[in-house]
Amino acid sequence: MATGAVAVCVGTVLAFEVYGFAELAMDAPTPPDGPARALLVLPLLLCFGGPFAVLVTLLLTLPTVSAARWVSARTTGPDTWWWVPVVAVAAMSAVAAVVGAWWRPGAGASVLLWLTGAALLTGAALLARDAALRGRRLLRVLGYGALAAVAVAAIGGAAYATGAVTEYRPPKADAARLVGTWSDGHGGTLRLSADGTARAEGLRSDCTGVGTWSSEPDGPTAWDQLVLTEVTDCSFDWRISGTPEHPKLNHDYGEVDDPHWYTLTR
C-alpha cells in the first residue's frame, strides 16, 4: 500500500507541473503560476498528502488492482497487466461523470479532470501491482518520479523556447479600442463612450447607472493594464484578456488566493 500512496503523491506533483506548463498558454487576466505551481504544492503534500494518498490508495488504487486481476483471471488469464489501465480508465470515467454532474465544470475541464485522474490512477495502480508481485519499490517510484519531473521540465521548456507553443500575453488595448458595448452574456451590459462616459445596465451586484471610465494602458507589462469604471453606487476595476480580435474585460470578485472572474465580451 505504501508504494501506491507514494505513487499518488508523486503523480500529483507531476500533474501540477504539467498543468503549470499548459497554463502558460491559456487565456487569463492575471499571470499564471506556471510550473512553479508544482513547488507550491509540495509543502501541502508534506503536511496533508500522506493521509490523502492513503485514502486514495484504499478507495481507488487497490480496488483498481483487485478488479483488474479479477477481470483478467476470467478473460485473458491470470494477472494480465494491461487490464489495470482499462479498469482505471473505466473507474475514472465514472468518477468524472459524478463530479461533472455535481460540479458542472464544463466540457474542457471535465476532459482534463478525466485524463489527469486516469493517468494518475493508472500509474499508481501499476506500481502497486508491481510492488505486490515483486516487493516494495519505494526508491524506484521516487526515482521514476524525479526522472519524469525532469523530462516534463525539459519538454515543456523546449516547447516554449522553440515556439512550438506560444506563451499567452493579454492584448494591448488603448482607450480607442475599448470604446463600445460590452456584455456578460446574461443581459448585463457596459457601454464605454469615447467621451469617457460609462453606462452600466444589469451588471453584477445590480450595477446600473451612468458614470465615467478611464484606462491605464501603460503598466510595466500587458498584465497590468486596467480599465476603471465608476458608476452610481458601483465601481469596477477591469483587467484585460482575450485576443486582439476578441478582447475581454475581467473583474475579480473572489478572494486574494481564490479569484473568481466576472467577464465581459464584445
pLDDT digits 0-9 by tens, 221-230 = 888 899 999 9
Q: Model pTM greater than 0.75?
A: no
The better pLDDT of the pair 213, 130 is held by: 213
Show the cell assigned to 84: 489495470
DSSP one-letter string for 59-115: IIIHHHHHHHHHHHHHTTSTT-TTHHHHHHHHHHHHHHHHHHHHH---HHHHHHHHH
Question: In the chain, what are the domain boundaries?
Answer: 2-161, 175-265
- pLDDT score of 102 more than 70: yes
Does residue 46 carry a pLDDT above 70? no
Contact yes or no for 259/30 (Cβ under 8 A)? yes
> In 3D, which of 183, 178, 216 has the Cα closest to residue 197?
178
CA 24 to the chain's CA centroid: 11
Radius of gyration of the chain (CA): 24
Q: Is the pLDDT of residue 8 over 90?
A: no
Is the CB of residue 180 less than 8 Å from the CB of residue 265?
no
Mean local confidence (pLDDT), 17-42 = 82
Q: How confident is the model at residue 163 (pLDDT cuts 50, 70, 90)?
A: confident
pLDDT of residue 230: 93
State the pLDDT at residue 136. Answer: 62
The pLDDT of residue 142 is above 80: no
